[in-house]
Structure 1
Amino acid sequence: MKNQTTQNELAETRLYTGRLMTPDDVVAALSDRDLDERTRIGRRWMFCCDVNPKMFEQLRGIRLDSLALRVTGFVSSLGGTYAVLTHQVAGHQHRLLLPLYDAEVQEAIIGAANEPHGFLVSNDNQTEAVVLFGNPQFGQELLGLPGLSRQLSREALAVLIPELPSVIMAMTEVARVPSLCEEAIMSVSVTVVMPIRSMLRVDEKLDAMLDEVLG
């Protein structure tokens, strides 16, 4: 246990911002790719994230369906609901943090639970990337996450959004998510999907503009 603690203290952590792609977004992004790649990826929901170069090298050298995966949901002290989708290969762990109170995130989670989905994993903010394909069991686990059908008022969102920095920093703590493999954690990459739609809702002027755009 003492050795485990020492290794955790020395583990490298990196923080990234991610985004969500609808099936239409994915099809549009693939429009200039060859037929084989368009067919292989197809229409699917995509969670876009980044990992550090060491983990990316590991991803390139293994069967992608052999990755360890964990789906976790939690509620903050202020009542905010969050999901953490964790992948791990050897001692390298990636955590995707999703604020479940955001309408765009809810749409993607419910979509991924019922339709094809995957993870577009980039190498440390570079253009090189791999696609991890989701599976039906993972989709069913998504449906068990808290607060997926909960619609919050502007006032409630105004309380939750300021807590996001502290939630993000907590998620960068190595010990926050235990190792999914026999190996001790050597590095942690955290990707955060920002609750953009909720942030816009808090600002009344931006909210009005958003309503006009979304119809």
Structure 2
Amino acid sequence: MNDALFLIPVGVSARHVHLSAIHVELLFGKGYQLQVYKHLSQPGQYAAKETVMLTGPKGTIDKARILGPNRPATQVEVSLTDAYCLGVSPPIRESGNLGGSSPITIIGPKGSIYLQEGLIIASRHIHMSEEDAVQFQVHEGDFVNVISRFERPIIFNEVKIRVSSQYCLEFHIDTDEANAARLKSGDQVLLLKNGSI
């Protein structure tokens, strides 16, 4: 198979917040609806106009972007650098796996909420459609390696494959990982199978 068939676009994920409907109202007021700022690459997902403040034991981060639509459970995703700033030690987890994750306070214009758990560093992963999975010969839950071949070549190990008809092909990493490899959204990386280049 030609290398070009293994190329995957990068999506760099900055710190962000997913809110439940109840928490949207607690932070922004009763009946409040998030407003679309811009649509994201994954179908149906968008960056909202609204931002919030994140507060930890040692510091705060202002203007953390909310991503919509609403989620069943509120979740905050930060980089390790952000975690140092906040004074917290969140686990590296797949999105939605919040049991035993770190606490965080979220402050909005109309109120604040304290989560006993809900703060994570998102584990790197690849979104792809079922058609993409057939093309790349991988399955939901598989782990692969990904190489950046730019100015600072890096191999990302243990990258989880996530497959859904609702997904668009994209390799998701946080800002720390992107900066280490000097990657930006829209760059392309190479999927490595069986650890071989």
Report which of the two has the higher share of helix: 1
TM-score, normalisation: structure 2: 0.27
Structure having greater relative contact order (Cα 8 Å, sep ≥ 6) = 1
